[in-house]
Amino acid sequence: VSDAVSADGQFIVASGPYGAERIYREELGGWKSEVYSGAFSQSVTDVAYWDGWQYHHADQAKQVYRLNADNDKQVIFSGNAYRNVIVSGSVIVACSERVVYLANTIDLEPVWSEAPNLNNEEITNCVLVDDTVFVATRATSAEFNLWTLNTTEPSPQPSVITSVNNIEGLVSDGSYLYWSSGDDLHRFSVEDNTTSSVTIDSGVVRSLAYSDGRLLFASGETPVSIHIMNPNDWGIKAPAVHQLEQGVVTALAVWKNQLLIGVGSDGVTILDIEQSDISPAWDKPFFNAVHALGEEVPLQLAHLNDVGLVDFYQDGLLVSRIANPGYNGSTHILPGTVNGSQLAYVA
């Protein structure tokens, strides 16, 4: 396992030669795995998910492609050894060893007229924040650069915004970038380019993941500890939420109270963790609940830590704003909703 993402109640996992797995929970509570096009039919090293589409990087085929719910395949990039596939909004990002590629999610056409020049430095990681791609490169064995690229410009002029001694596991919450360097965690402000850091006592930090206000990471060796941190105050929840007596954590992904841990060739472990460790959680409506047109739909959160106001959205439309303790409300299935439609609720 080299990469994993959460995807609307399931996980998409890059399992190398075994392929791309979709891991989902059955009605009776057990977990089930499906491999796209069959086990060992295609090696996949990077995955992403956006708006109902799975995105895979098939390293041996040298392709980045996407699949819809019917497994219809659309090739986006081909002919290179890609890495760090990222999708958000209207932009698809993939990197080769020294080039960043962009395509449009609508028609899959290239966004840039030519690839930006990063001084021919080796690309190690990248992350997408709004209209900006942040790219980490290795300038020398002891120096890493963090570049910015504007996705709305046909020929962006990249610029270095900071140089550090290492950048691993680059993730973002939209306002900050987070990465590790040995046993240090770093936080970089997208707004003012300032950096802060903290040393993790349990050892070398690997496999960062961000989920709803909490930073998750693996650190140490024999055992490897999985920690949850509040990056605003560098507060770590003690004790660790999980420990591995042996093995290396190669990927982390979170969906509500489900934590997926990738352990290299040993596969994955999925844990139930306290929802309050991650974020306020949905209580109602339930996932996959069925409601009739005009029926009242309850709106309720659980584990209301540090909540002062809640906005509820139905398919992107604000349907309720609640500032009273308890934060319970309701809405209705809106007129004109087609029978059988799937509705997305966000708070």
Name the percent of the chain lying above pLDDT 90. 46
Residues sharing a CB contact under 8 Å with residue 340, sequence separation 6 or more, in sequence order: none
Higher pLDDT, 214 or 286: 214
C-alpha to C-alpha distance for 64 and 53, rounded to whole angstroms: 13
pLDDT of residue 344 exceeding 50: yes
Q: What is the pLDDT of residues 195-241, one digit of tens each?
A: 899 999 888 998 999 987 889 999 988 788 999 888 878 888 767 88
Structure tokens belonging to residue 193: 């380019």
Higher pLDDT, 202 or 46: 46
Residue pair 97/107 in contact by the 8 Å Cβ criterion = no
Q: Identify the pLDDT of residue 30.
A: 78
Rounded to two decimals, the pTM is 0.77
Q: Identify the pLDDT of residue 307.
A: 64
* Residue 122 β-bridge partners: 138
Q: Which of 268, 270, 269, 265 is nearest to 17 (CA)?
A: 265
